[in-house]
Structure 1
């Protein structure tokens, strides 16, 4: 149980709640000391963590996936562990590791010490660490083209609605080198993912994707239609492998195309002429609820 905790709060996260008051209430009878910082931007969060990592026993971050991803980047290759307080809409990483669904429950877990620190993987894309995944094609469009109003109304299912609306008629051909093997890959969408969860508790892209297995996973969809997307959705709901989704585990992949590639890296839109993506095994220390840590060992 850490006795020195630094909380970082993103007040613009998707959930409105009195986080500082919840922290003080949860630690009212705890011997642990803590500090609270408010982050105002990704750059501010990076600076705040740079100033405290290695000097505090644990960094607890409240916010959505964007906040968690930035914190993970700042703690990459650090001995200082990360504790996630879910404060967003999707909370993908919190669900990936089995954290409680609410901030109050997560704080009870933290104050009780009923968690374990475990090393998990990160990815590296063009020299920059990422936590969850890189999306290209329809798997990126379904996120960037979903309006805040649709997301507010339908939650995570809004992305699926956008996918149906934005279906491309044909795929893009990429030149890929996977662990030294060259090939051409034509797809309407692909992801190079470190984590399996898709923002719904217990649901992964495909079975067997783990944030702590020392591998990245390439998942691609070669063509789209309403029927095919319904079939893929059914496979995800049933947590079964789908013949429509091509799945390959890898350590490194290089992706090029005849035109610059638009992609999302941990939900941040970017563009590059070439993507070099590698696994960074066990490069982030993160707090798991004890029962989930035991299940993933």
Structure 2
């Protein structure tokens, strides 16, 4: 098994030990070549059989696109803070077990979609409003609290953050125009250290978008509860739509939380990368 390893040492507050991961993959029988995440736009070696990414959710999209382009499976080692993508797929949290799975040539794979936010790949969700504020507030606490930092950030955002004016178009049709606490464009739908909008599919070649309209802060408690249970889109007061292309018009400078990374998208346009990537999953 010839593997290209992409290890983001900045993920998980520095917990990604590329040298140890390389040894574990080699012990599992793999031949490993290391590639920097910034170099994944360059073609992979022709004998590459698998791409392995070690890092947080923000690293996965870039590695997924590289694996998709090369026509090989992607294996994910959950060494970030939230690890929402790995959690949604039930991937091992123990690094030794995860490396064994990643290096197993007979491992099962599942087809997964890759989203594009203004052309940049993502695999979970891009959210404006409370999620972006919560991510910024969580950042100082991630080294100490781990994934729980997102819960702390979410509570503070729910108590203090303002709503955001947004206009949402799905395949050029306006589906929402007004103030919202949060708007989420979703691939897997996972975000925020264990939350999920729910209702997404990984085989329909469409993106999902869910909007939490502005209202009382007390109602946010209910919405937060349903996000933690993956049932947000089941709420009657939460518009939920699917489409090939989604546009979210928000005030200039509004930040989006894209797979855990804060980005300003002006304008914010979302689509799916044609085709899917095969992701290694447990049996």
TM-score (norm: length of structure 2) = 0.83
Deviations 1:185-213 (A, max 9, x none): 4212111011123365xx55233223443
Q: 2:189 aligns with which of 191, 196, 199?
A: 196
Aligned counterpart, 1:288: 281
Helix, strand or coil: the match of 2:38? helix
Matches of 1:26 and 1:73 in 2, distance apart? 22
Aligned counterpart, 1:155: 146
1:6 matches 2:4: yes
Deviation at 1:56, TM superposition (A): 0.6
Deviation at 1:244, TM superposition (A): 4.7
Q: 2:166 aligns with which of 148, 152, 174?
A: 174
Q: 1:145 aligns with which of 137, 152, 155?
A: 137
Deviation at 1:114, TM superposition (A): 5.1
Aligned counterpart, 2:109: 117
Q: 1:67 aligns with which of 59, 71, 74?
A: 59
Helix, strand or coil: the match of 2:99? helix
Unaligned runs of 5+ in 2: none
Matches of 1:174 and 1:48 in 2, distance apart? 34
Q: Cα RMSD (Å) of the superposition?
A: 2.9
Aligned counterpart, 1:24: 23
Structure index of larger Rg: 1
Q: Work out whether residues 170 and 242 of structure 2, in 8 Å CA contact, stay in contact via their aligned partners in 1.
A: no
Matches of 1:96 and 1:287 in 2, distance apart? 13
Matches of 2:25 and 2:118 in 1, distance apart? 41
Helix, strand or coil: the match of 1:282? coil
Deviates more, 1:182-191 or 1:241-250: 241-250
Measured at CA, do residues 25 and 248 of structure 1 come closer, stay the same or move farther in structure 2, by a change above 3 Å?
closer
Deviates more, 1:154-163 or 1:139-148: 154-163
Matches of 2:163 and 2:90 in 1, distance apart? 35
Deviates more, 1:95-104 or 1:242-251: 242-251
Deviation at 1:76, TM superposition (A): 4.4
Measured at CA, do residues 190 and 80 of structure 1 come closer, stay the same or move farther in structure 2, by a change above 3 Å?
same
Aligned counterpart, 2:32: 35
Deviation at 1:113, TM superposition (A): 4.0
Instruction: State how many pairs are aligned.
Output: 278
Q: Work out whether residues 118 and 286 of structure 1, in 8 Å CA contact, stay in contact via their aligned partners in 2.
A: yes
Matches of 1:258 and 1:35 in 2, distance apart? 45
Unaligned runs of 5+ in 1: 291-297
Matches of 2:17 and 2:266 in 1, distance apart? 44
